[in-house]
Amino acid sequence: MVIDTSDTLLVAATLLCSLTAGLVFAFAVVVMPGISSLPDREYLGSFTAMDRVIQENDPLFLLVWVGSALVLIGAVLLNYGTLAGVNRWLLLGAAAMYLLGVQLPTIVVNIPLNNRLQQLELDGLDEVGLRDARGAFEGRWIRWNAIRTVFACLTSVALIALLLRI
């Protein structure tokens, strides 16, 4: 049996992008609603504790998050010339949705919001400061995570459809 590198990259991209979709989906439907009922200090502390795992470069998280983008780009580069018609559009559409709808908002919106929270000295903030910090973070982060979730799920659907077609 000969292993085709381009097919292997498509399978790996599908797996990694789907894992990312699951992560942002879990934040959208479980994590953020779960901590939303916490008082401001606990809410902000809970989120920063979860984010700290990511900020400290957890290797599995990095493998999935960064790897998904790199492997997807590699799959596009290796398959662009061999795929045609609908298959090519599925791959290009998946890559565009993922890079522009998941990775770009993460870099431009979610990470800067996370970094601002990481810089706060929560113990030094009074109730008004905590409320303001949460207000500046929560709605915007949740909104953009919902956008990432939709695009991540659509990416997974497109990649699965592509795998089923080839």
Q: Read off the pLDDT of residues 86-128 as tens digits, 9 standing for 90 and up.
A: 999 999 999 999 999 999 999 999 999 999 999 999 999 999 9
Give the 3-state secondary structure percentages of the chain, helix then strand then coil, rounded to 5: 90, 0, 10
Q: How far apart are CA 145 and CA 31, in angstroms?
A: 11
**Which residues span the domain enclosing 55?**
5-165
Q: How far apart are CA 81 and CA 119, in angstroms?
A: 46
Single-letter residue type at 127: E
Tokens 């999935």 found at: 64
Determine contact, residues 94/162, Cβ cutoff 8 Å.
yes
Two tokens at 36?
Answer: 């939303």
Q: How far apart are CA 145 and CA 141, in angstroms?
A: 6
Structure confidence by residue, pLDDT tens digits, 66-85: 999 999 999 999 999 999 99
Structure confidence by residue, pLDDT tens digits, 136-165: 999 999 999 999 999 999 999 999 999 998
pLDDT band at 166 (very low <50, low <70, confident <90, very high): confident
Q: How far apart are CA 100 and CA 92, in angstroms?
A: 12
Q: How many domains does the chain have?
A: 1
Rg (CA), the chain: 18
